[in-house]
Amino acid sequence: MQTSEKGRAIAPSVTLEISAKAKAMKAEGKSVVAFTAGEPDFNTPEFIIEAAKRALDDGKTKYTPASGIAELKNAIADKLEKENGLKYKPSNIVVSDGAKSSLFHAFAAILNDGDEVVLIAPYWITYAEQIKFLGGKCVIAKTDKKSGYKLTKAEFERVITPKTKCLVLNSPCNPTGVVYTKEELKDIAEVAEKHGVYVISDEVYEKLVFGGAEHISIASISEYMKEHTIVINGVSKSFSMTGWRIGYLAAPEEVAKAIGNLQSHTTSNPCSFAQYASVDAFVGDEGEKFIAEMREEFDCRRKAICAALDNCGYEYIKPMGAFYVFMNIDRFIGKKYNGVAINGSVDFANALLSEGVAVIPGLAFGADNFIRLAYAVSKADIALGIERIAKFEKTLG
């Protein structure tokens, strides 16, 4: 059977390839420290599991409205008002089967063929694949050490053209862990308003901020920004519910309506009982208690991995959010592992895997001289993994 041009254009996932190899090695009984996971290594809290069981017992097993049940939309609207200073009506909210799905439907609802979308490098590759698939064109805004790997006003201005439709902002960021301050968001908002550029604000890591960093939604910067931003979020990372597949977005009413309509023809409603369980995640204080404990543990690991990398003299972007460290591998490029040259992040990740450490190549984020280390592993594994990287370096010719 022949695949379509669109089907052929979708890039294979570098992430999945490395993860599959690491899994196969583990199955063979080899010791592998996997810094690859894109999900918290905590169980979903018991009170949420109980809520799902109750929903099943109560027969909440049928179709629901495609854009989500009223109870959950209300709970999300309350959350957005209380935590993010964003006043939305339930009609502004569309619940989905994951933030990834919300992103796809959001791009589909606003992009015309040839519209340009600004991505801030390093960026999550899913944005690029979805945008390309939907006929949009990715335009890459650069960041560097000097800008703290954040989008500056000048760089934003530089990449804007008459075809620019929107900017994708991801704070806290996967893979860099950078978190934008209110002042930085104001700068971005100023440029966006000047040029009439919309913002897709992916806030899935909002609860995982450390060392005094604060998550602020760009939609809360001004009424204008609220009217020109689609806020994307979900329960995956906040409540360790990655497998439950519940995400959501908040958007101006006409956009939310279009997305709801589209969703009714694609995914239809998100899982009924997962929606009911998610209501419990948002109401009451048990959810916040769980998040506080998870955040504290991640912060300890963040400090441990940064200290271990500092000990080895490795360069990395100081993470203030999410659960990733983006490490520079310039010093490894051009060296040889068992006679094979390391020419980029994929070669590096493959060679390192042979020494029992799995990492995600930076190529997956448009940064081939970096690797991503997820510290969703124990402190003992963090120590062992970094020790193995240092040992691996000594074997290079």
Ligand X SMILES: Cc1ncc(COP(=O)(O)O)c(C=O)c1O
Report 114-143 residues binding ligand X (CB under 6 A). 124
User: What whole-number distance in Å separates Cα of residue 106 and Cα of residue 111?
Assistant: 9
| Residue (88 or 244) nearer to ligand X, CB | 244
Count Cα atoms within 13 angstroms, Cβ side, for 47. 14
The token duo for 347 is: 């070669």
Among 14, 18, 36, 38, binds ligand X (CB under 6 A): 38
Q: Is omega for the bond preceding 175 within 30 degrees of 0, making it cis?
A: yes
Instruction: Name the minimum Å distance from CB 81 to ligand X.
Output: 21
User: What whole-number distance in Å separates Cα of residue 369 and Cα of residue 205?
Assistant: 24
Using CB under 6 A as the binding criterion, the count of chain residues that bind ligand X stands at 13
By the rule CB under 6 A, 184 interacts with ligand X: no
Instruction: Name the minimum Å distance from CB 361 to ligand X.
Output: 16
Instruction: Name the minimum Å distance from CB 234 to ligand X.
Output: 3
User: What whole-number distance in Å separates Cα of residue 191 and Cα of residue 226?
Assistant: 15
Tokens 């997305």 sit on residue: 259
The backbone torsions φ and ψ at residue 384, rounded to the nearest 5 degrees and listed phi first, read: -65, -45
Residue 75: count of CB within 10 angstroms of its CB: 22
Closest to 136 in 3D by CA, of 200, 226, 228: 200
Instruction: Name the minimum Å distance from CB 296 to ligand X.
Output: 21
Contact region for ligand X (CB under 6 A) — 92-100, 207-215, 258-266, 355-363?
A: 92-100
Query: Which residue sits closest to ligand X, CB atoms considered?
Result: 98
| Residue (181 or 242) nearer to ligand X, CB | 242
Tokens 């994307």 sit on residue: 232
Give strand pairing partners of 233. 248
Site string for ligand X, 147-176 (x = CB under 6 A): -----------------------x---x--
| Residue (200 or 327) nearer to ligand X, CB | 200
By the rule CB under 6 A, 260 interacts with ligand X: no
Contact region for ligand X (CB under 6 A) — 96-104, 142-150, 192-200, 346-354?
A: 96-104
When computed from its CA atoms, the radius of gyration of the chain, rounded to whole angstroms, is 21
Q: Tell me which residues touch ligand X (CB under 6 A).
A: 38, 98-100, 124, 170, 174, 202, 204, 234, 236, 242, 247
